[in-house]
Amino acid sequence: MPLQIAPKRLLWHAAGHIGTRTSTIASIRLVQTEAPKTDAATSAAPKATTQDAPQINAPRSYGMKVEDFTPQPLPRPIGMLAPPRSGQNTGIDPRTLMQKREDLTNWDKHLVRREELKAKISRPYFRDWDNIKMHDGKSFIGPIRVFKAEKSLFFPNLHGVTLENSGLERDTTPVLTGNASIVALLSGRWAESQIDSWINPSKNPELAEVLKSNLEAQIVRCNIEENSIKAWMIKLFMSSIRRNFAEQDWSKYFVIKKGITDEIREHIGYLNSKVGYVYIVDQHCRIRWAGSGPPHPVENESLAKGLQRVVDELKKEKLDIVAKKNAIRDSLYKSHGIHSPDFKGPSLTLNDEIIPHCICLAKNTIRHIVTIIDTVALIKHVVCLGCFRIVGTILVNVITHIREQSTGKVKTGQLWNKKKEDLTKQLGELKTELGQLRIQKIVSSGSKLNKIHDLRKSIARVLTVVNAKQRAQLRLFYKGKKYAPLDLRAKQTRAIRRRLTKHEASSTLAKVQKRRTHFPQRTFAVKA
């Protein structure tokens, strides 16, 4: 057995009292206590994985083998401590060649890497299959209610290929953000059959009803396969997998090969790679509920009710945001001395689609003139105002919701999940808005230039994504063929330059020599 260093504690023993009450003589003795007994499942856990992670008493692929085990309900929320971000856990080594060389000669990092390799080699290959014998691999029992939002931890960002035809890798965080999601982790047919018992409409009709009645709810599947050969087989039969799902769900099926570390497994409770796991993730990527293995009827009911609870919280949050925006808008109206749209007086309002800005008519003067989308509708409205009071001046305010014209920047990360038709439509709208903005009369020229700059940036980003998707599809089309377009061929400019000799690198063309002879570079001196 390995030698365990027991902690030491200080025992204070009073020796006696001398004279006054405040002075005391004490003797200190160091006593060696027994080492605390560790559970068999967590005795061989890596140090990096168990730090600050919620401990789940369940069999693992490492440590001593467990002969008897009974699943227990989750005692506390599980998940990562920090919120996820796109680009994390990709499995790609970001180090440069210089950093790799320095790490290769660093003895301390070499020892750390040696311990990691020893831990991986010492793990039994069939341990997860042996643990399936106990309760079909169930690691824990799902809670009856969802975890509180303020106490919940986060679901990590995962990176992999989706079922879309583009073949590009995506992150799960943009898909989960803003939606109430059921995230299913599976690997192999055994785990897939367990996941079907959780989310299949025939086996869980209550969950199917919640998904059908709420557009904010969705199912995200993550097929985790760290074996390169098996991952290649899944990619080979990707077309047959697409037939099992609707086209709008292709972007919600991920094939993940790298990035799931031991730390992530410990934090989210993914303790057996051969078993299916189900999570409820809210709009902020927090894990609100979790289940594993085959479900009990009570767990299926808890899953449906928990998803409905998260959807209700999402709708309430959206209503609160709208109410807050309306309150800010009303305060702006009052500060500028303008009636609000809810004013119950002799004021008329126009539709937002007709006039997007404020038009104030008072004492036969127009205080604020902005872009008018439909001039005919404005003329009709002014005629109606004239009919409203035949004699005298018009003393009513014609207003709509005061807001700036929407020229928000387009984020590139949100464009990758869109189809080509949507991107083409968005590109046309941006070009139309840019054309209208160029002929628009605005008091402040600086704001107009800033808006034009943002629109041109947005158009460039949309075009970049469209071209990248088109190139990816062309690469798939010409893959394995004898010839390919010049743009898709590998650029070997740097390699060709490196193969040049010194004489070839210093030589110049005849026309370059003639140009230098007939048109030499002139130098000018400026007199002080």
Domain closes at, from 262, 295, 318 = 318
CA angle, corner 143, sides to 140 and 145, nearest 5? 165
Q: In this structure, is residue 85 part of a structural domain?
A: no
- DSSP for 491-510 reads P-HHHHHHH--HHHHH---H
Tens digits of per-residue pLDDT, 416-459? 888 888 999 999 899 888 888 877 766 555 677 888 888 999 99
Residues 108 and 235 in one domain: yes
- DSSP for 51-96 reads TTPPP--S--SSSSPPS-----B--S--SBSSPP-TT-S-------
pLDDT at 410: 85
Tens digits of per-residue pLDDT, 74-109? 888 999 999 999 888 888 887 888 888 888 888 888
Tens digits of per-residue pLDDT, 195-232? 999 999 888 899 999 999 988 899 999 999 888 888 88
Strand partners of residue 291: 278
Per the listing, tokens 């790490």 go with 103
- Find the helix or strand (DSSP H, E) in which 398 lies: strand 398-399
Domain closes at, from 318, 341, 369 = 318
Q: In this structure, is residue 311 part of a structural domain?
A: yes
- DSSP for 287-304 reads EEEEEESSPPHHHHHHHH
Residues 425 and 313 in one domain: no
Residues 167 and 313 in one domain: yes
Residues 394/360, Cβ–Cβ less than 8 Å: no
What is the average pLDDT value for the chain, to the nearest integer?
A: 75
The band of 233, judged by pLDDT with boundaries at 50, 70 and 90, is: confident
Residues 197 and 306 in one domain: yes
Residues 121 and 247 in one domain: yes
Residues 423 and 286 in one domain: no
Residues 109 and 221 in one domain: yes
Q: In this structure, is residue 157 part of a structural domain?
A: yes
Q: In this structure, is residue 492 part of a structural domain?
A: no
Q: In this structure, is residue 278 part of a structural domain?
A: yes
Kindly state the average pLDDT of the residues 297-317: 92
Domain closes at, from 473, 490, 511 = 473
Residues 314 and 422 in one domain: no
Q: In this structure, is residue 72 part of a structural domain?
A: no
Residues 438 and 305 in one domain: no
Residues 329/342, Cβ–Cβ less than 8 Å: no
Q: In this structure, is residue 187 part of a structural domain?
A: yes
pLDDT at 52: 54
Give the pair of three-digit tokens for residue 118: 């020893």
Domain harbouring 430, CATH code: 1.10.287.310
For the purposes of burial, counting CB atoms within 10 Å of the CB of 301, is it exposed (0-12), middle (13-18) or buried (19 or more)?
middle
Tens digits of per-residue pLDDT, 361-392? 433 334 333 344 445 555 655 666 555 444 43
Q: In this structure, is residue 374 part of a structural domain?
A: no
Domain harbouring 222, CATH code: 3.40.30.10
Phi then psi for 24, rounded to 5 degrees? -140, 135
The band of 283, judged by pLDDT with boundaries at 50, 70 and 90, is: very high
Residues 133 and 265 in one domain: yes
pTM of the model: 0.55
Strand partners of residue 349: 399
Q: How many domains does the chain have?
A: 2
Domain housing 224: 97-318
Residues 309 and 427 in one domain: no
Residues 137 and 261 in one domain: yes
